[in-house]
């Protein structure tokens, strides 16, 4: 119901979490032309093996509560339908009792749904913040090894990137480097019918692609 919408919660986390601030350069940049790379940092965090595993674990944590809220919502629907059914032949007392029950259950549903949303978003933000810091360290090391002087993040809401050659996009390379360092295995493949909601869709960066009219979520 709520945490199954992984993309929505990831977006919420990304909007309140920035990538770690760049560390001061240890030495002056080498002379010569700048070597620039592009990364979708939010996507890199979400698609690491560790990120996929932890996000899936978070969904499992809240699944029982989601199921409970779904059951409560169904009870409310059933009560409302019975009140609208002319064939039910309800007495005034029974109608009043069912109306009161539906109203109380609706208040309970609203309260518990809000609690679940707040708890889930906080857990997701904490998870993202912790993992983003570690992915950033790997990205920085990779950039230094490859001689990049500047990395632009296209997942930021106000990204200045309108075009990037595919050869300059290092999102996958950073994901692969982090997976090697973390040692977390890839999650098992899931059947299409039960696969979780996809991670936030990255801005496509192909030689013929320009930024869409709506900017992607920031992180």
Task: List, for residues 185-208, the tens digit of each pLDDT value.
Answer: 999 887 764 444 444 444 444 333
Higher pLDDT, 117 or 5: 117
Residue 63 sits in which domain range?
34-185
Number of domains forming the structure of the chain: 1
168 and 88 in contact (C-beta within 8 Å)? no
Is residue 18 assigned to a domain? no
pLDDT at 9 over 60: no
Residue 43 maps to which CATH number? 3.30.910.20
Instruction: Report yes or no on 15 lying in a domain.
Output: no
| Residue 1 reports pLDDT greater than 60 | no
In a domain, 14, yes or no: no
d(CA 196, CA 191): 10
Q: What is the pLDDT of residue 157?
A: 81
**pLDDT given for residue 156 in this prediction:** 83
Q: Specify whether the CB–CB gap between 186 and 74 falls below 8 A.
A: no
Query: What are the CA-CA distances from residue 34 to residues 16, 88, 148, 170 (Å)?
Result: 31, 77, 7, 16
pLDDT tens per residue, range 52-108: 999 999 999 999 999 999 999 999 999 999 999 888 788 999 999 999 999 999 999
β-strand partners of 150:
36
Indicate whether 117 pLDDT > 60: yes
Residue 198 maps to a domain? no
Whether the per-residue pLDDT at 210 is higher than 50: the answer is: no
Q: Does residue 107 belong to any structural domain of this protein?
A: yes
Domain membership flag for residue 112 = yes
Per the domain annotation, does 97 fall within a domain? yes
Q: Is residue 191 assigned to a domain? A: no
Task: Say if residue 126's pLDDT is above 80.
Answer: yes
Per-residue pLDDT tens digits for 137-190: 999 999 999 999 999 999 988 888 888 888 899 999 999 999 999 999 999 887
Q: Does pLDDT of 219 surpass 90?
A: no
Task: Give 20's pLDDT tier (boundaries 50, 70, 90).
Answer: low
């Amino acid at each position: 119901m709520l945490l199954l919408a992984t993309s929505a919660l990831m977006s919420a986390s990304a909007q309140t979490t920035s990538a770690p601030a760049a560390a001061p350069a240890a030495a002056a940049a080498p002379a010569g032309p700048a070597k620039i790379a592009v990364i979708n940092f939010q996507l890199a965090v979400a698609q690491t093996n560790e990120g996929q595993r932890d996000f899936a674990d978070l969904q499992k944590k809240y699944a029982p509560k989601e199921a409970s809220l779904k059951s409560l919502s169904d009870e409310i629907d059933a009560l409302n339908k019975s009140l609208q059914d002319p064939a039910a032949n309800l007495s005034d007392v029974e109608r009043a009792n069912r109306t009161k029950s539906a109203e109380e259950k609706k208040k309970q549903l609203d309260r518990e749904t809000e609690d679940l949303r707040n708890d889930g978003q906080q857990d997701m933000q904490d998870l993202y913040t912790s993992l983003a810091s570690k992915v950033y360290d790997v990205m920085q090391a990779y950039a230094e090894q490859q001689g990049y002087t500047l990395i632009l993040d296209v997942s930021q809401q106000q990204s200045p990137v309108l075009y990037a050659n595919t050869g300059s996009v290092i999102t996958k390379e950073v994901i692969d480097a982090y997976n090697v360092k973390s040692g977390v295995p890839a999650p098992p493949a899931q059947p299409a019918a039960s696969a979780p909601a996809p991670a936030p869709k990255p801005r496509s960066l192909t030689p013929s692609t320009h930024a869409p009219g709506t900017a992607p979520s920031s992180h």
